Amino acid sequence: MGAAEYEERLEAFVGRELTPLTPGQDPVNQPMIRHWTEAMGDTSPVYTDEAAARATGRPGVVAPASMVQAWTMRGYAATTAPAPGRRGFDELVALLDEGGYTSVVATDSELEFARELVPGDHVGVREVVESISPEKKTGLGVGRFVTTMKTYRDQNDEVVATQRWRTLRFCPAPAQAASDGPRPPRPRPALNRDNAFWFEAAREHRLVIQRCVSCETLRHPPGPCCPRCGSFAWDTVRASGRGHVYSFTINHHPRHPAFDYPLVVAVVELAEGTRLITGLTGVAPEDVTIDMPVVLDWLDADPDLSLPVFRPVASEDR
């Protein structure tokens, strides 16, 4: 299929109905208004209090204007059954997929309201394609902006609101290959006068813990002042190197080319009681568990940077 033919097929969608007028599952009603305003934290009484609403000149309670879309959403039904009458929508998505535009992100929504909805109104929506842009380069990849117009009508076929809805359908940009060129060095720690001693010890493969001279409380990460007694006097003790996994996460994104992924990032609680954020080594991500006993190892990242990492306790370490 040629590019020109593809453009023509896209162009043929402009003006086409994606979703025929489809009534909402329920009429506008007070319980849904109450749930919505509670969830949104909107405390205006015109949505829930008849007297307060009348005091503003309204005939009674009204629904929040921006709830218009909620009245036409299919809710959980949408997860179990295809939407009725959405053939046009499905065809457009298939055509965009064919062009490689497989990802979607909503970009903006312009709502205009003709009148306030009141309990008992029954709203339906119809969606028509307004425009499909030429291919554009975006930060997410090349794509096309698809703009549709949703028209909301009440039980008397009067327009109550319109919504211009724009999405970007894009070809996801390929991830930067980790093997392109030499691997860059790890990011440097941000050294300062309060933490340099810790990284200097690490370069000598010593894991140290800062200790308050006044009250002997251990602390990590390093800091100038004891959080318990306020003393600025400190020294260090050398950690045993034993601990357990207090918590962990498996990091997939964003990727830095100096690291291998998936990357296990753990909070290890040392036998001495302090915790540090560290890497785990010698264990598959799926095998890491909370409370897993671990023991200190060293990662010599480059001549200037050695960092403590931890590996699971092997039988010979017990």
Minimum CB distance to Zn ion smaller for 136 or for 228: 228
Q: Taking the CA atoms of the chain, what radius of gyration do you get in angstroms? A: 30
CB of 302 to Zn ion, least distance (A): 36
Minimum CB distance to Zn ion smaller for 69 or for 195: 195
CB of 254 to Zn ion, least distance (A): 38
CB of 226 to Zn ion, least distance (A): 3
| Share of the chain residues as helix, strand and coil, in percent rounded to the nearest 5 | 20, 35, 45
Binding site for Zn ion (CB under 5 A): 212, 214-215, 217, 226, 228-229, 231
Contact yes or no for 226/215 (Cβ under 8 A): yes
Minimum CB distance to Zn ion smaller for 123 or for 226: 226
Name beta bridge partners: 245: 268
Measured CA to CA, the distance from residue 132 to residue 13 in angstroms comes to 8
Minimum CB distance to Zn ion smaller for 188 or for 228: 228
Contact yes or no for 32/120 (Cβ under 8 A): no
Q: Which amino acid is at 152?
A: Y
**Of 128, 131, 132, 130, nearest to 152 (Cα)?**
128
CB of 224 to Zn ion, least distance (A): 12
Measured CA to CA, the distance from residue 206 to residue 228 in angstroms comes to 25
Contact yes or no for 28/65 (Cβ under 8 A): no
Q: Give the strand pairing for 263-270 and 242-251.
A: antiparallel
- Measured CA angle at 305 (ends 303, 306), to 5 deg: 105
CB of 214 to Zn ion, least distance (A): 5
Minimum CB distance to Zn ion smaller for 229 or for 271: 229
Residue 268: other Cβ atoms inside 10 A = 25
- Residue that the structure tokens 């890497």 belong to: 279
Residue 254: strand, helix, or coil: coil
CB of 235 to Zn ion, least distance (A): 12
CB of 234 to Zn ion, least distance (A): 8
Residue 21: strand, helix, or coil: strand
Give φ, ψ of 207 to 5 degrees: -95, 115
Minimum CB distance to Zn ion smaller for 231 or for 240: 231
CB of 242 to Zn ion, least distance (A): 24
Minimum CB distance to Zn ion smaller for 6 or for 232: 232
Minimum CB distance to Zn ion smaller for 87 or for 219: 219
Contact yes or no for 96/146 (Cβ under 8 A): yes
Minimum CB distance to Zn ion smaller for 53 or for 212: 212
Contact yes or no for 44/61 (Cβ under 8 A): no
CB of 208 to Zn ion, least distance (A): 17
